[in-house]
Amino acid sequence: MKILAIETSCDETAIAIIEVTGSLKEPVIHVLSNIISSQIKLHAKFGGVVPNLARREHEKNLVPILMRALKESKFLQPESRSSEKESSHKSLVMIQNSILNREFKLLKQFEKKIISLSPPDIDAIAVTFGPGLSPTLWVGVNFARALSYLWKKPLIPINHMEGHIVSALLRTATKKQRQHGMFQVACFKFPALALLVSGGHTELVVIKKMGSYRIIGETLDDAAGEAFDKVARILGLGYPGGPEIAVEAAKNHQSETDPPLARNAKLKIKLPRPMLHTQDYNFSFSGLKTAVLYLVRDLEKKYPIIKFRSSVAKEFQDAVVDVLVAKTLRVAKEYRVKTVLLGGGVAANKELRKVLQKQLKKELPRVSYMLPDVALTGDNALMIAVAAALTGKKKAWTEVHADANVRLDKN
Ligand code: KG4
Ligand code: ZN
């Protein structure tokens, strides 16, 4: 089976093409193409993603990225046969009037580059339909709908968070597999628990079987990644804040020659661990962000920021990790799960990866721990393609719509 996948839920325009071989139980994923075009630089000056700017970028990027992906996968056959030409020109009218009628820039490129192509040798088109930013999701979904209609291929709508779950399952077992862009999908025991931490979501998801999800805990306000981004801004660090805070926090361990003030015990840098002891499995990070704001305001009255920034970054990171790990372990125990998975952009955080592993080993040594390759933690279309291969349901293009607030348990 060959799948082309499109991901535009936030600020990454991504397209991947995979071929799946092997058995259903032990599928092998061959990555024919996996392209991610990040808009980070564009949004950095605004300190966060601007939805309409992101939408415009996706409109600009999708056709060139698709052309590149088809070329890399050797599916690019520029000239369609004359019988195909006739039918594709009929399709164009429908696409102009009813599918890409609001994506004017994308439509122009579609007419110029895509309409004349022979349909590629793929079996389905997967697309992220939510959750995410409504304007950016719609661009990807409408693009996928137009391709589905033009090429007469079914669509597979995929929940973005399921993609993040799947990214924890991809393994390259041998050197040859790595060189050839091949992955195996790791087997794991159910019930499993996924800690999903991204810019928009923080969720604890119990997985009874692949495709059957129950959210049992989530953030009541800011997502973990969002908190990293906001605290980075308070500390005068760049966007996205997660990696910046991680780097700053690591300095706290290293600056032996010029110890930060906190190390001299002149300052007490202690932040709260919100909801650590509540009986539910939910999170709240907005108060933690406000606590950082007040702490920094106080410290700034007496010291230059350079003197305490790394200490605050480290204490903030520790606070987030402490809460995430403690609640994950509690659910793991209470639901007697056999596997814990980590996913989402914040899963790139080394401290979180390490502490979760250490605590699981200590308190639940029989539970297996699956975490994604760091390169697959951020948004990408490969995870969407693999999710489509594992659990996807083929639909007609008319049945697929973007849903910015869709939940994993309402798939
Ligand atoms: O999953 P993702 O790429 O996009 C969404 O679906 O939201 O997650 C992006 C989030 C951002 O908030 C970013 O700051 C955070 O992931 N992030 C990190 C790290 N790398 C990215 N947070 C903490 N530590 C990191 N190393
Ligand atoms: Zn994401």
User: In this predicted model, what pLDDT tens digit does every residue of 78-120 receive, in sequence order?
Assistant: 666 666 777 777 889 899 999 999 999 999 999 999 999 999 9
Is the CB of 225 within 6 Å of ligand 1? yes
Instruction: Determine whether the shortest distance from the Cβ of 243 to ligand 1 is under 6 A.
Output: yes
Whether the per-residue pLDDT at 264 is higher than 80: the answer is: no
> Would you state the structure tokens that stand for residue 225, as one six-digit string?
């990644």
Range from 8-17, 78-87, 198-207, 369-378 carrying the lowest mean pLDDT? 78-87
Q: How far is the CA of 292 from the centre of ligand 2 (A)?
A: 25
The pLDDT value given to residue 93: 87
Residue-level pLDDT at 86: 74
pLDDT of residue 257: 47
Q: Is the pLDDT of residue 252 over 90?
A: no
d(CA 101, CA 234): 41
Q: Which residue matches tokens 């992906």? A: 69
Range scoring the smallest mean pLDDT among 25-29, 78-82, 360-364: 78-82
CA 126 to chain centre: 15
Smallest CA separation from ligand 1 atom 16, residue: 345
Q: Name the residue among 358, 348, 349 with its Cα closest to residue 326.
A: 358
Residue 180: predicted pLDDT = 82
Q: Are residues 32 and 38 in contact, defined by beta-carbon separation less than 8 angstroms?
A: no
**Ligand 1 pocket check for 199: Cβ under 6 Å:** yes
Query: pLDDT per residue over 132-148, tens digit each?
Result: 999 999 999 999 999 99
- Output the CA 112–ligand 2 centroid distance in Å: 31
- The predicted pLDDT at position 332 comes to 98
Q: Is the CB of 346 under 6 A from ligand 1?
A: yes
Q: Left, alpha or beta for 380 (phi > 0: left; psi -120 to 50: alpha)?
A: beta
Count how many residues are written for the chain.
411
Q: What is the mean pLDDT of residues 8-27?
A: 95
Mean of per-residue pLDDT scores for the chain: 93
> Which numbered atom of ligand 1 lies nearest the CA of 344?
1
Helix (H) / strand (E) containing 32: strand 27-38
* pLDDT of 127 strictly over 60: yes
Structure confidence by residue, pLDDT tens digits, 157-194:
999 999 999 999 999 877 787 778 899 999 999 999 99
Q: How much distance in Å is there from the Cα of 277 to the middle of ligand 2?
A: 28
pLDDT confidence of 263, banded at 50, 70, 90? low
What residues contact 332, with CB distance under 8 A and at least 6 apart?
A: 193, 340, 360, 364, 367
